[in-house]
Structure 1
Amino acid sequence: MAWYIKQAGCDLRGETRVNFLVIDDHPLIRSSINTLLTDHFLRAACFESASAEDGMRYLSTHQIGVVLLDLTLPGMGGFEALRCIRQYHPDTFVLILSASNDLYEMQRCIDAGAAGFVNKGETGPVIISAINTILKGEKYIPLILQGQGTEIAKKLKLAEKITQRQRDVLRLLQHGKSNSDIASSLGLTESTVKVYCRDLYKLMGVNNRHQAMQEALRIGLLD
């Protein structure tokens, strides 16, 4: 895809206009991103939505090249919106623009089809660099995630292997329940609960309940 970009005092001219859609519930952030994009991409058209639902409606009636998507939104969350956009508008690039620095959240977004992830605290040139990268059909992976993405992806894959019953045990562990309490709540024997815990610790690479809770929260098994 070609585009117009103004950078360092020179214009790099292409032939294709880029339509951007910024989905963020903060008007000031939407306005700032709009200004950044129209200052750098000379033929850019930048549209704004305050919610994922409004953004999805806009996507259904307009041809959008790049969506800049916040994760924390009222109503439909950003991650759910990402999955919907990838399902119904597969030719649209999605750049996550979030205040989060959580590596697991970043990796989940990349795995779900985001073309890139940029922290809101980054400078304008970083955002422009990310957009240039994804317009070339490449992924924009944050430096903080580079070198760790493979290991994190493995742990997220691990989360998919954990059964619903094991998740039930984790949830009760999170609430401080004893093995006896868990057995009573789930209709299991205490020895079976111990087996579940042992298998969970082995799968997660931890040695005790506290470590299991921390890891479960990190990889999204618990809220």
Structure 2
Amino acid sequence: MRHALTQSLPNVTIIDAASFDEAKVVVDRLGTADLVILDLNMPGMNGFTGLAAMRAAHPLVPVAMVSATTDETVMRRAIEFGAAGFIPKSAPLETIAEAIGQILEGQVWLPPAAVYGGTEAGTSRQEIAKRLRELTPQQLKVLSMMSQGLLNKQIAFELTVGEATVKAHVTAILKKLGVHSRTQAVIAARLLDMKTAE
């Protein structure tokens, strides 16, 4: 990870921490950081509790998770808990560098397989973008509001439509994107930093 960072960011300053508590003390002392990288299995993490605690204490600091796991469910859960990315340790050096670069630019990064699961593990970002382009303007608005965490009832109120209409849009969005849950749809949108024209 250090090698990937120094290779992609020549003037980077890296501060190591041996545990979550130590990492939090460092960020608390600095007041901010361009990026915090947490290992899912580092001492003190307690699953995603550490991630949630870091996000609560420093909501403006992007947090990337790294782990030896390639479990797609775990990766998606990390994004749900506020991670800006999940980088498998087994990823090639150039992929790690690309992931860090995108996270620093404000995007969310996940291996495409983590969005679509094992049945479509080869799905590329280009394919995700193609599927997003198939959404109607109204479906894009609904997806954008889903990305903001709004419930169907809230989306219906914002768009002045019935809740049944929103449910129909959500069903169509999931079908067009080839995903099985709202979370997967939101991750697909965030992966491409989806912008919806107002």
TM-score by length of 2: 0.57
Secondary structure of the corresponding residue to residue 144 of structure 1: helix
Structure with greater Cα Rg: 1
Q: Which runs of 5+ in 1 are unaligned?
A: 1-32, 156-223
Name the residue aligned to 1:42: 10
* Aligned CA distance change for structure 1 residues 76 and 139 (closer, same or farther; 3 Å): closer
Name the residue aligned to 1:85: 54
Query: C-alpha displacement at 1:105, in angstroms?
Result: 1.0
RMSD, aligned α-carbons: 2.0
1:132 partnered with 2:101: yes
Secondary structure of the corresponding residue to residue 68 of structure 1: strand
Query: C-alpha displacement at 1:41, in angstroms?
Result: 0.6
Quick one: which amino acid aligns to residue 59 of structure 2? P
Q: C-alpha distance in 2, partners of 1:112/1:61?
A: 23
Q: C-alpha distance in 2, partners of 1:130/1:154?
A: 20
1:44-102: per-residue Cα shift (whole Å, max 9, x none)? 10110010010011110113111111111223325111101111101111111111111
Structure 1 residue runs of 4 or more that deviate by more than 4 Å after TM superposition? 152-155
The residue correspondences of 1:1-223 to structure 2 (distance < 5 A) are 33-62=1-30, 63-148=32-117, 150-151=179-180
1:147-172: per-residue Cα shift (whole Å, max 9, x none)? 249425569xxxxxxxxxxxxxxxxx
Q: Which runs of 5+ in 2 are unaligned?
A: 118-177, 185-198
Whether the 8 Å CA contact 1:52–1:77 is kept in 2: the answer is: no
Name the residue aligned to 1:25: none
Q: Determine what percentage of the aligned residue pairs are the same residue.
A: 31
Whether the 8 Å CA contact 1:93–1:134 is kept in 2: the answer is: yes
TM-score by length of 1: 0.51
Quick one: which amino acid aligns to residue 151 of structure 1? H
Whether the 8 Å CA contact 2:45–2:51 is kept in 1: the answer is: no
* Aligned CA distance change for structure 1 residues 147 and 35 (closer, same or farther; 3 Å): closer
Q: C-alpha distance in 1, partners of 2:96/2:102?
A: 10
Q: C-alpha distance in 1, partners of 2:47/2:96?
A: 18
- Count of aligned pairs between the two proteins: 123
More strand by share: 1
